[in-house]
């Protein structure tokens, strides 16, 4: 498969809906953070189109309710709920273990937390990492690496990382913001880190037919995350779900990898995302922090 690379002048064609319904029917998609908001609507829309959907959340009651509602609304009985807390790297490993030996066509790293209430203090994860960097970046970094065999089994497959236009420069010497803290800055750093990882992973996968792209699903959509940050919602959750499904399934993106999108259009991220040295250093430190089995630069030789 020939893979599109950054700088090839790719354009999705705007709002054109070229999702292939037949291509969706029968695929298996894992949507993290799918008990609420964009993740839940994405899971619903994929199920409605015939996909087998693996839902994920950290509250078993909400998970059961979401799965039952989606099954009832779509008539799709190929749904499964996985309950883990991605603020723990051990539980991210547990999630991957639950899926060992299975094939995954689409991994949607949607689970995340926002900047928190205005003026909120710095928080840490169960592993002692700054909470936003832990949940929004380190957890999907580790989970993605652990699921690469499942994605390879179903290849050609796709990874969609939900990022944001709200990005802050990543301080590689202070990833956990120990020298100063602001919720919006922490959120922005974690989302830029995820974009940097997206671009770096696309290069390291090289000829492996797994496409990985990052997405800003929409600005201040009506989600719990936005409301908790005391921001006024400006768009509907469906807008974000439509963009996610597009990146996850559109034939127009066959072979396209290592890109950042805003909705259905390719966008430009913070310039740090295009710094190969910064990306490689972030990747190296992330491997150390998570214990992930990293891929060699610009090559996936020996990957299985």
pTM: 0.89
CA distance readout (Å), 194 to 82, 126, 136: 23, 20, 7
Residue ranges of domains in the chain: 21-290
Greatest CA separation for the chain: 51
CATH of span 21-290: 3.40.50.720
pLDDT tens digit string along 1-36?
335 444 333 334 444 456 555 468 889 999 999 999
Which of 137, 187, 274, 283 is an active site residue?
A: 187
Alpha-carbon distance of 111 to 137, in angstroms, equals: 10
181: annotated active-site residue? no
Q: Which helix (H) or strand (E) holds 39?
A: helix 37-48
Taking the chain (304 residues) in consecutive chunks of 10 residues, what is each chunk's mean pLDDT?
Answer: 40 47 80 95 96 97 97 97 98 98 97 90 96 98 98 97 96 95 96 98 95 85 50 72 96 96 96 98 98 81 44
Q: pLDDT of 197-230, one tens digit each?
A: 999 999 999 889 999 999 999 655 545 554 454 4
């Amino acid at each position: 498969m020939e893979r599109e690379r950054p700088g090839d002048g790719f354009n999705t064609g705007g709002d054109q809906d070229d999702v292939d319904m037949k291509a969706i029917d029968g695929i298996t998609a894992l949507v993290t953070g799918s008990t609420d908001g964009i993740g839940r609507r994405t899971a619903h829309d994929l199920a409605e189109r015939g996909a087998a959907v693996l839902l994920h959340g950290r509250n078993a009651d909400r998970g059961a309710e979401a799965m039952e509602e989606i099954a009832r609304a779509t008539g799709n009985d190929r749904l499964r709920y996985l309950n883990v807390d991605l603020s723990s790297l051990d539980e991210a490993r547990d999630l991957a273990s639950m899926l060992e030996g299975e094939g995954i066509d689409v991994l949607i790293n949607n689970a995340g937390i926002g900047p928190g209430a205005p003026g909120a203090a710095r928080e840490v994860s169960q592993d002692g990492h700054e909470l936003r960097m832990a949940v929004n970046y380190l957890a999907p970094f580790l989970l993605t690496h652990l699921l690469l065999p499942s994605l390879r089994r179903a290849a050609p497959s796709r990874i969609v990382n939900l990022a944001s236009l709200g990005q802050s420069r990543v301080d590689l010497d202070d990833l956990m913001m120990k020298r100063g803290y602001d919720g919006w800055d922490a959120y922005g750093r974690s989302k830029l880190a995820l974009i940097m990882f997206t671009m770096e992973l696309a290069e390291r996968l090289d000829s492996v037919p797994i496409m990985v792209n990052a997405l800003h699903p929409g600005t201040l959509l009506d989600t719990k995350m936005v409301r908790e940050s005391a921001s006024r919602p400006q768009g509907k959750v469906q807008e974000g779900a439509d963009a996610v499904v597009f990146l996850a399934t559109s034939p127009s993106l066959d072979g396209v990898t290592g890109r950042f999108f805003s909705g259905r259009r390719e966008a430009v991220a913070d310039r740090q995302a295009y710094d190969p040295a910064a990306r490689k250093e972030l990747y190296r430190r992330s491997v150390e922090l998570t214990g992930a089995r990293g891929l060699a630069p610009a090559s996936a030789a020996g990957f299985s």
